């Protein structure tokens, strides 16, 4: 598809249960909130940033974006963000993935402009096993497997139609590229970065703190 208006949509309305520090968007890493880090990584590439926040919350200081109230699940929050936007192309990015490089944003956007739908993902490098009741169950062939990250980019009309249909039919997906695939669209995979991990557990937050100084020093 041709170039059009691009918006960044950031679901940040989760409760951060696994991290145990309240909503993750407000958690700081080296002095800046996870949300500010994600917003600032996307702002140079888009005409608008819209963030979904937990009910009753306001944007943390320093975050330059428009805010809407999110929903009960990530999928609900993204649908509300899509409804709040009138962009042609959207980039959906977890607030909880603070280390997002400009090259990755450009690559997923280019791929989405070319094909209509794309996601950043990382080819799996470890041996994979399905656990059974005793521990090691059955080895899973890893060839061709990718771990899906964000940003995920695509035509807003495709995403909104997929989300609206999923809400109507009670179909739940863990991400937006998966919903687009479910709706019949081909989704391009764009190689991501290990640094784009999602801050989910206390160990991830420690890792993020350790990485932040090096990351911040390398930014233009």
Ligand X SMILES: C[C@](O)(CO)[C@H](O)COP(=O)(O)O
Ligand Y SMILES: Nc1ccn([C@@H]2O[C@H](COP(=O)(O)OP(=O)(O)OP(=O)(O)O)[C@@H](O)[C@H]2O)c(=O)n1
Neighbour-count burial of 214, counting CB atoms closer than 10 A to its CB (0-12 exposed, 13-18 middle, 19+ buried): exposed
Output 57 or 110, the one with its CB closest to ligand Y. Answer: 57
Partner in contact with 13, chosen from ligand X, ligand Y, none, beta carbon below 5 to 8 Å by kind? ligand Y
Q: How many residues does the chain have?
A: 220
The three-state (H, E, C) secondary structure of 19-87, written as one string? CCCCCHHHCEECCEEHHHHHHHHHHHHCCEEEEEECCCCCCCCCCCCEEEECCCCHHHHHHHHHHHCCC
Sign, CA torsion 202/207/208/212: positive
Output 18 or 64, the one with its CB closest to ligand Y. Answer: 18
Partner in contact with 163, chosen from ligand X, ligand Y, none, beta carbon below 5 to 8 Å by kind? none
Residue ranges in 150-209 that form contacts with ligand X under rule CB under 6 A: 150, 174-175, 198
Residue 3 CB, nearest distance to ligand X (Å)?
Answer: 25
Residue 77 touching ligand X (CB under 6 A): no
Q: Among 24, 37, 74, 163, which residue sits at the site for ligand X (rule: CB under 6 A)?
A: 74
Residues in contact with ligand Y by the rule CB under 6 A: 11-18, 24-25, 52, 70-74, 77, 94-96, 198, 200
Output 147 or 210, the one with its CB closest to ligand X. Answer: 147
Residue 94 touching ligand X (CB under 6 A): yes
* Binding residues with ligand X: total (CB under 6 A): 8
Partner in contact with 70, chosen from ligand Y, ligand X, none, beta carbon below 5 to 8 Å by kind? ligand Y
Place of tokens 């450009």: 106
Partner in contact with 16, chosen from ligand Y, ligand X, none, beta carbon below 5 to 8 Å by kind? ligand Y
Strand 48-53 with 6-11, pairing: parallel
Partner in contact with 12, chosen from ligand X, ligand Y, none, beta carbon below 5 to 8 Å by kind? ligand Y
Residue 24 touching ligand X (CB under 6 A): no
Q: Tokens at residue 77, please?
A: 């929050």
Strand 135-140 with 128-132, pairing: antiparallel
- Quote the CA–CA distance of 10 and 81 in Å, as a whole number: 8
């Amino acid at each position: 598809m041709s170039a059009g208006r691009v918006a960044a949509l950031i679901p940040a309305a989760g409760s951060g249960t696994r991290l145990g520090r309240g909503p993750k968007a407000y958690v700081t890493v080296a002095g800046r909130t996870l949300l500010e880090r994600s917003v600032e990584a996307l702002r140079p590439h888009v005409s608008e940033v819209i963030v979904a926040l937990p009910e009753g919350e306001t944007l943390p200081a320093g975050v330059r974006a428009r805010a809407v109230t999110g929903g009960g699940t990530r999928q609900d929050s993204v649908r509300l963000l899509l409804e709040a936007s009138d962009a042609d192309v959207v980039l959906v990015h977890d607030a909880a993935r603070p280390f997002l490089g400009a090259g990755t944003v450009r690559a997923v956007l280019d791929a989405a402009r070319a094909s209509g739908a794309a996601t950043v993902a990382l080819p799996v490098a470890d041996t994979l096993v399905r656990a059974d009741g005793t521990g090691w169950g059955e080895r899973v062939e890893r060839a061709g497997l990718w771990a899906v990250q964000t940003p995920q980019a695509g035509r807003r009309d495709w995403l909104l139609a997929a989300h609206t249909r999923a809400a109507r039919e009670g179909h739940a997906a863990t991400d937006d590229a998966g919903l687009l695939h479910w709706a019949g669209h081909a989704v391009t995979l764009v190689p991501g970065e290990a640094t784009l991990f999602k801050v989910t557990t206390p160990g991830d937050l420690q890792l993020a703190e350790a990485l932040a100084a090096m990351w911040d020093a390398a930014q233009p």
